[in-house]
Amino acid sequence: MRKKRIGVLTGGGDCPGLNAVIRGVVKASISTYQMEVIGIIDAYQGLVDKNVRPLDWGDVSGILTQGGTILGTSNIANPFKWPHKDAKGDLTFSDVSDDVVDYVDKLKLDVLVCIGGDGTMAIAHQLSKKGVRIIGVPKTIDNDIWGTDITFGFNSAMTSAAEAIDKIHSTAQSHHRVMVVEVMGRYAGWLTLESGIAAGGDVILIPEIPYNLDVICDYVVRRSREASRFSIVVVSEGAHPAGGEMVVSKVVKESTDPVRLGGIGHKLANDIETGTGLETRVTVLGHLVRGGTPTPFDRVLSTRFGVKAAELCYTGTSGVMVAVRGSEIIAVPLSDIGGKMRLVDPDHYLVDAARNVGTCMGV
């Protein structure tokens, strides 16, 4: 009997822990289950361009602590909506998924491990319905994938954001300023909420709780008159005023998620300065929180995810995503994940904790 052969790809935005998952998949596949592993380059694009490489023990040694992904990634490579220019130079899309299925068959892959966020999981589920055997691994700094208590990459990004906000404190305190810090997270407020609490943010604004500008202005004015004389406002890129819209920086038509949020930090800083007369500055953390070495927490979680994915590949399970429930790593059907997002409940215990230590949530 031939050895089982599995493929592995990393899709969507990069984050710390991707290499740790790849390492877990490859080492468990080789040492425990005697399977071969093929790496797909640049997410689903590698399946369209036929760009792959074998992954052996030596290829993944020493990558546990490295950020990014040795396989490369893409957040626009969608075989069901493949972008290309027509004869006139206009952007058009076509469905090349049948070619991808044929190439997976040609590679003789028994299972394809797809590591990524909700966009990657949605594409994986579509491919599974066309007969490709899929195991998903949930990755995102946004922590918004339904079905798992936490995604790998989140803890590392939260740590980076909290450390950056820590550094803002000294300059805010020295100059008696209002400092606005904009944090990634798209439509979910987890990253802003937890980094804001960890760094002692005075105001925390998330998409799930639309804010009232007057409440924020009253709060920072009151602080400016007290002994503290400064305020740290931590705002999610998806935050918006009650009755208002999220701020969109641009639209990338060829992407699986074309809307790019960004700019709320500058808008909010201008609104606060205009409404209070207090000197206000803004810092946009941006992709800073995606980079760097994964935290020990994420290294452990990523390793557990990778090992579980290899186990499921070996046992013949497919059409599922590995997930954390409590302390256990389980498998949840990909069909249960599509179209859902794990958002912050306005009554979540972390929101209550923030309010109980005097944090203004904007309402």
Residues tagged active-site: 142
Q: How many CB atoms lie within 10 A of CB 19?
A: 26
> Is there a contact between 118 and 337 (Cβ–Cβ < 8 Å)?
yes
> What SS3 class is residue 85?
strand
Q: Using CA atoms, how far apart are residues 98 and 79, in angstroms rounded to an integer?
A: 9
End-to-end distance of the chain based on CA atoms, in angstroms? 64
E strands within the chain?
5-10, 36-40, 52-55, 82-85, 91-94, 111-116, 134-138, 178-183, 203-205, 231-236, 248-251, 259-261, 280-284, 320-325, 328-333
Three-state DSSP state, 33: coil
Q: What is the 3-state secondary structure (H, E, C) of 299-330?
A: HHHHHHHHHHHHHHHHHCCCCEEEEEECCEEE
**Beta pairing class for 91-94 and 231-236:** unpaired
